Structure 1
């Protein structure tokens, strides 16, 4: 969940990762991206158990590539792009799939997608001022984790009886908590970009 990005400098210039492609974390992130269409097909064809397994594998691999990147100093610019891209795609596919199956309301999809569109709109401004992607904020990582926990639970919410009821309750709790952290992190990013622009103009 964005675990490869250094947080040493909020401007993104100090401690920048080098230009490396063939690292273990990048290979893991690439394989996780390849599983996105598989996961989407499983969700849309109501193969929830198999989709749940893929989602768990993706989540574990996300954690593993972050540990490897930090432990063996294998951070890279490509990793900065692949890791969050995979997270966003899994979140988007899950949201659309669950909303299409009426497990989630479409307004929740719009709230989460709007946040990512807001951050995407900041990238050209950062590049214009000579900066790459901003360091991943702890709140953003926590929000992504919460959402990734929410989705398997919401997939299980369709089960009858106590299991489905508990999954629906805890799934929605994680989803709302994740959305709140997601947007809090977005406001932090906006403030950082504003500070960068002010500093460069000064």
Structure 2
């Protein structure tokens, strides 16, 4: 457990705090916790890369913490009816599908190694921007209604495209023959 991993764990521990703050309509505090989490994400990555502290644990924890925070914000805001429930369902379902597909491929001894696709990176960026705008709008009463509406549809479109792209990669991978144990050459990387 090194400093970057401790920072990531702190970000993961911020998830219940954000849910609690949203449930109490304390959007100002929730917004700043979200901003602090974003700063910590950049900080842990910088420290890990520049001080050669990258670890296997960090490679799993970092995206887990990021995704958990985003999902928590979307679910919290959806429950409070501050963002459309259908969007929350789409975002959470896409993530659940990806985790389920990866788990199933491992269970079938045909593991798929997921790499972020370009559309997935665009989707994550749009989700982060929308979460920041929605929380900022609620925290500071910015009245960015049309921007929020535009971001809802952008996130929805990118979530659908990203989910479809991962599904196609997974189907293609599962249609190939599994690699022999110890032979990584035959595995597709998504």
* TM-score band w.r.t. shorter chain: 0.7 to 0.9
The corresponding residue for 1:181 is 158
Shift of 1:45: 0.6
Distance 1:159 1:55, change over 3 A: closer
After superposition, where does 1:108-127 map in structure 2 within 5 Å?
A: 108-127=87-106
Helix, strand or coil for the counterpart of 1:157? helix
Shift of 1:104: 1.4
Q: How many angstroms apart in 2 are the aligned matches of 1:197 and 1:129? A: 10
Structure 1: stretches of 5+ with no match in the other structure: 1-21
User: Any conservation in 2 of the 1:29–1:86 contact (CA below 8 Å)?
Assistant: yes
Between 1:86-95 and 1:103-112, the stretch displaced more is 86-95
User: Does residue 83 of structure 2 align to residue 104 of structure 1?
Assistant: yes
1:46 to 15, 25, 47: 25
User: Any conservation in 2 of the 1:32–1:61 contact (CA below 8 Å)?
Assistant: yes
Structure 2: stretches of 5+ with no match in the other structure: 180-190
Q: How many angstroms apart in 2 are the aligned matches of 1:74 and 1:133? A: 23
After superposition, where does 1:4-19 map in structure 2 within 5 Å?
A: none
Distance 1:173 1:67, change over 3 A: farther
Shift of 1:133: 4.3
- The alignment of Structure 1 onto Structure 2 pairs a total of residues equal to 178
Q: How many angstroms apart in 1 are the aligned matches of 2:58 and 2:153? A: 28
1:155 to 125, 135, 143: 135
Q: How many angstroms apart in 2 are the aligned matches of 1:140 and 1:68? A: 25
Distance 1:51 1:119, change over 3 A: same
Q: CA RMSD in A?
A: 2.5
User: Does residue 57 of structure 2 align to residue 78 of structure 1?
Assistant: yes
Q: How many angstroms apart in 2 are the aligned matches of 1:67 and 1:137? A: 22
TM-score normalised by L of structure 1: 0.75
Shift of 1:143: 1.4
Q: How many angstroms apart in 1 are the aligned matches of 2:131 and 2:146? A: 12
User: Any conservation in 2 of the 1:39–1:51 contact (CA below 8 Å)?
Assistant: yes
The corresponding residue for 2:115 is 135
